[in-house]
Amino acid sequence: MRIALDAMGSDNHPVPDVEGAVLASKTYGVTVVLVGDQSTIKRELQKHDTIGLPLEIVHANQVVDMDDKPAQVTREKPESSIHVGMGLVEDGQADAFVSMGNTGAVLAIATLQKLKRIRGVHRPALSSIVPFVGKHVILADIGANVDCKAEWLHQFAQMGSIYARQALHYANPKIALLSNGEEEGKGYSLIHETIPLLLADDSLHYVGNIEPKEVVHGGADVVISDGFVGNIFVKSLEAMGMALFDGIKGEIMATQRGKLGGLLLKPTFRSVYKKFDPFEIGGAPLLGINGVVIIGHGRSNAKAIQNAIRQAKFAVEGDVVEAIKDGINNRSV
Amino acid sequence: MRIALDAMGSDNHPVPDVEGAVLASKTYGVTVVLVGDQSTIKRELQKHDTIGLPLEIVHANQVVDMDDKPAQVTREKPESSIHVGMGLVEDGQADAFVSMGNTGAVLAIATLQKLKRIRGVHRPALSSIVPFVGKHVILADIGANVDCKAEWLHQFAQMGSIYARQALHYANPKIALLSNGEEEGKGYSLIHETIPLLLADDSLHYVGNIEPKEVVHGGADVVISDGFVGNIFVKSLEAMGMALFDGIKGEIMATQRGKLGGLLLKPTFRSVYKKFDPFEIGGAPLLGINGVVIIGHGRSNAKAIQNAIRQAKFAVEGDVVEAIKDGINNRSV
């Protein structure tokens, strides 16, 4: 298996990207094709022992910055590492593309220029896979599409369900709609319009509306929302998590007693943090595209990037793209 | 000042409700009118030293349960403590009504049966006041209205701004729209439609779109959203906060080392928890109603209820209802 990695993706590229590639090629037996500025990648690779590892480099002339506007990137940076890496998948020279880079740019390039939507897919969905209570929960959409239609949400549910089955090996993934309450009648118009579509679809194990608290407690395997709501949800969880950890850290460092307690609880904090750490999964698929594209966070470290490559491997092994093609076009999975 | 309190409101009513009333009447010099089953309240009051305290009881025949449907309550429980308490405000026998009870029922009774909307208000907004980084931030709407129109959000901003000024004494409250990014173009159609209304309104100090992280860091004083998004936001913060505290607690109790560390860090956790504790504020106003109505959480303890009564006092002292009447009808504040 050959997985193309955007070596110019993360905030600190190419350092964690290259290290993640080295770790993944060593651990998972996949060939990692590093895409980006050749001399930069070569220099970075020299810091690692790569003898015998299945690593390759494909040069790309341009780098997409985190604050580049997607529309600008598609126009002005046609030779970016994102374009080149996705092109490898398009040409059959790689089985998947992984990037920690500018999400909007990856999305725009995938949708408009490379790979493109699977026929029959209304809108690709940006997903996130979050480790809630030790279980991997797929959230979709978390930001690709605002102002959604019910048919789109229905497809997000189908694609999320297929991914959960094929890549995460969930036997009968529980699908839920993110809402402000579980009772019938809760939600807003889009939710009311989506429910009958999910209920009528025998391929889906739809379990109802679900509140944030239930999501965090693992109440469903695939949680569907429009991209605006999903984005607010994910960012709210992250914001609160960061605020609490920062708050605790600040208080601990303020007193001698706190420092001692903090030292004793180091394993505790590490273990709790790990339970919610998105880097344990590393990246999540852009669903509905003609190819496996895994997107991770710009802040990713090498471990996260290694894990994102593993996620790509799961998606390729699960033949997710073909399964979505079949599922969407037959309306039965 | 006379503040009517729903004595049958909280999950554990009347215990925390009565204790909160005793504390508030002692601390803030307001008369608290306890509304609910007279004999139950009397019995509960006997547990406290109430000699000389300005406490009164007004009997109500019916109790609204937390899982009662609002529509059912308005039809079938016209003599509930919520009806009677709000009636006291309507009749000028109390200056404000405070309840920890069924939010949907309070909302429905206020809007449809008692007090009613201020003339010119499209939709009343349910607010929350959250202590982010030591600053009290008003969120509106957090659940009264889904599928909002831009004009409604504009009014939520006006009412939130007036409340922040009059009750919280913010000189020039910063208003922001909750969004998935700060850049222009982020958000969804409702946000795009609302921005020009806020920009054109000289009475508002509109500072732009704001992400959850910035809200938590105190980036604005009044954060506006439609009720569905606001509800997901508030519930997500709460869910993550609870999950982390529960996770840490569980890990601490699992080992001897953890228990010792936990003991040392008790003041740390208490201090951090307090920074985010909604009970420090206790309740928030239903904005746009012909009277001060403060709603708190069913889980409230006595301290939270005391604080909710204090919030009602602030709102009455700030003459919030008159200020909203003027502000909405003159479109200038």
HSE at residue A212, side-chain half, CA atoms within 13 A, is 28
Burial grade of B167 (CB within 10 A; 0-12, 13-18, 19 or more): buried
Structure tokens at A82: 């994102």
Q: Alpha-carbon distance A133 to A275, whole Å?
A: 7
The predicted model scores a pTM of 0.94
Which residue in A146, A182, A193 has the most chain B C-beta atoms within 10 A of its own C-beta, making it the best mutation to test that interface? A146
Do A165 and A237 share a domain, yes or no?
Answer: yes
Residues B301, B306, B307, CA angle at the centre, nearest 5°?
100
Segments forming the whole domain that contains residue B47: 1-121+288-333
Would you say residue B268 lies in a domain?
A: no
> What distance in Å separates residue B27's CA from the closest CA in chain A?
30
**Closest listed residue to residue A307, CA positions, set A277, A329, A268, A266:** A277
Do B117 and B3 share a domain, yes or no?
Answer: yes
Q: What pLDDT is stored for residue B291 in this prediction?
A: 98
CB contact under 8 A, B251 and A268: yes
Would you say residue B261 lies in a domain?
A: no
Do A22 and A44 share a domain, yes or no?
Answer: yes
Q: What pLDDT is stored for residue A306 in this prediction?
A: 97
Q: Alpha-carbon distance A106 to A61, whole Å?
A: 16
Do A67 and A184 share a domain, yes or no?
Answer: no
Q: What pLDDT is stored for residue A25 in this prediction?
A: 97
Three-state SS for B89? Answer: helix
Q: Which of B143, B239, B244 sits opposite A212 (nearest CB)?
A: B239
Assess A229–B contact: CB distance below 8 Å, yes or no. yes
Three-state SS for B1? Answer: coil
Assess B269–A contact: CB distance below 8 Å, yes or no. yes
Do B142 and B86 share a domain, yes or no?
Answer: no
Phi-psi region of B287 (alpha: psi -120 to 50; beta: other; left: phi over 0): beta
CB of A73 within 8 A of CB of A102? yes
Would you say residue A14 lies in a domain?
A: yes
Q: What pLDDT is stored for residue A132 in this prediction?
A: 84
Do B54 and B26 share a domain, yes or no?
Answer: yes
Do B116 and B144 share a domain, yes or no?
Answer: no
Q: Alpha-carbon distance B217 to A243, whole Å?
A: 8
Would you say residue B281 lies in a domain?
A: no
Amino acid of residue B34: L
Assess B117–A contact: CB distance below 8 Å, yes or no. no
Looking at residue B15, which CATH number applies to its domain? 3.40.718.10
Would you say residue B300 lies in a domain?
A: yes
Q: Please give the backbone phi and psi of residue A233, each rounded to the nearest 5 degrees, phi first.
A: -60, -55
The separation between CA A197 and the C-alpha centre of its own chain, rounded to angstroms, equals: 26
Helix axes B302-317, B320-330, angle to 10 degrees: 50
CB contact under 8 A, B257 and A272: no
**Closest listed residue to residue B309, CA positions, set B16, B73, B77:** B16
pLDDT values of chain B reduced to their tens digit, one per residue, 333 residues: 999 999 999 999 999 999 999 999 999 999 999 999 999 999 999 999 999 999 999 999 999 999 999 999 999 999 999 999 999 999 999 999 999 999 999 999 999 999 999 999 999 999 999 988 778 999 999 999 999 999 999 999 999 999 999 999 999 999 999 999 888 778 999 999 999 999 999 999 999 999 999 999 999 999 999 999 999 999 999 999 999 889 899 989 999 999 999 999 999 888 888 877 878 899 999 999 999 999 999 999 999 999 999 999 999 999 999 999 999 877 544
Would you say residue A282 lies in a domain?
A: no
3-state SS, chain A, equals CEEEEECCCCCCCCHHHHHHHHHHHHHHCCEEEEEECHHHHHHHHCCCCCCCCCEEEEECCECCCCCCCHHHHHHHCCCEHHHHHHHHHHCCCCCEEEECCCHHHHHHHHHHHCCCECCCCCCCEEEEEEEECCEEEEEECCCCCCCCCHHHHHHHHHHHHHHHHHCCCCCCCEEEEECCCCCCCCCCHHHHHHHHHHHCCCCCEEEEEECHHHHHCCCCCEEECCHHHHHHHHHHHHHHHHHHHHHHHHHHHHCHHHHHHHHHCHHHHHHHHHHHCHHHCCCEEEECECCEEEECCCCCCHHHHHHHHHHHHHHHHCCHHHHHHHHHHHCCC
Q: What pLDDT is stored for residue B331 in this prediction?
A: 57
Q: Alpha-carbon distance B291 to B280, whole Å?
A: 23
**Closest listed residue to residue B98, CA positions, set B39, B172, B200, B28:** B28
Q: What pLDDT is stored for residue B189 in this prediction?
A: 94
> What distance in Å separates residue A187's CA from the closest CA in chain B?
7
Give bridge partners of residue A139 from the DSSP assignment. A128, A223
Question: What is the tally of structural domains in chain B?
Answer: 2
Which residue in A148, A177, A232 has the most chain B C-beta atoms within 10 A of its own C-beta, making it the best mutation to test that interface? A232
> What distance in Å separates residue B163's CA from the closest CA in chain A?
25
**Closest listed residue to residue A227, CA positions, set B189, B142, B150, B243:** B189
CB of B281 within 8 A of CB of B131? yes
Q: Alpha-carbon distance A122 to A318, whole Å?
A: 23
Residues A201, A205, A208, A211, CA torsion sign: negative
Structure tokens at B70: 């609002």
pLDDT per 10-residue tile (average), chain A, 333 residues: 98 98 96 98 97 97 95 96 98 98 96 96 96 89 95 98 97 96 87 96 96 94 97 95 90 91 90 82 96 96 97 98 91 47
Do B38 and B117 share a domain, yes or no?
Answer: yes
Do A9 and A44 share a domain, yes or no?
Answer: yes
CB contact under 8 A, B262 and A265: yes
Assess A27–B contact: CB distance below 8 Å, yes or no. no
Do A150 and A260 share a domain, yes or no?
Answer: yes
Would you say residue A60 lies in a domain?
A: yes
Q: Decide which of B226, B252, B278 is a domain's last residue.
A: B252
Assess B66–A contact: CB distance below 8 Å, yes or no. no
Three-state SS for B125? Answer: strand
Q: Please give the backbone phi and psi of residue B91, each rounded to the nearest 5 degrees, phi first.
A: -85, 5
CB contact under 8 A, B258 and A269: no
Q: Alpha-carbon distance B50 to B57, whole Å?
A: 13
> What distance in Å separates residue A193's CA from the closest CA in chain B?
13
> What distance in Å separates residue B173's CA from the closest CA in chain A?
22
Q: What pLDDT is stored for residue A332 in this prediction?
A: 43
Do A36 and A146 share a domain, yes or no?
Answer: no
Would you say residue A283 lies in a domain?
A: no
Assess A218–B contact: CB distance below 8 Å, yes or no. no
Do A107 and A80 share a domain, yes or no?
Answer: yes
Q: What pLDDT is stored for residue B280 in this prediction?
A: 86
Task: Give the pLDDT confidence of A238-280 residue by residue, as tens digits.
Answer: 999 999 889 899 989 999 999 999 999 999 888 888 877 878 8
DSSP 8-state symbol, B69: -
Q: What pLDDT is stored for residue B260 in this prediction?
A: 92
Q: Alpha-carbon distance A232 to B181, whole Å?
A: 9
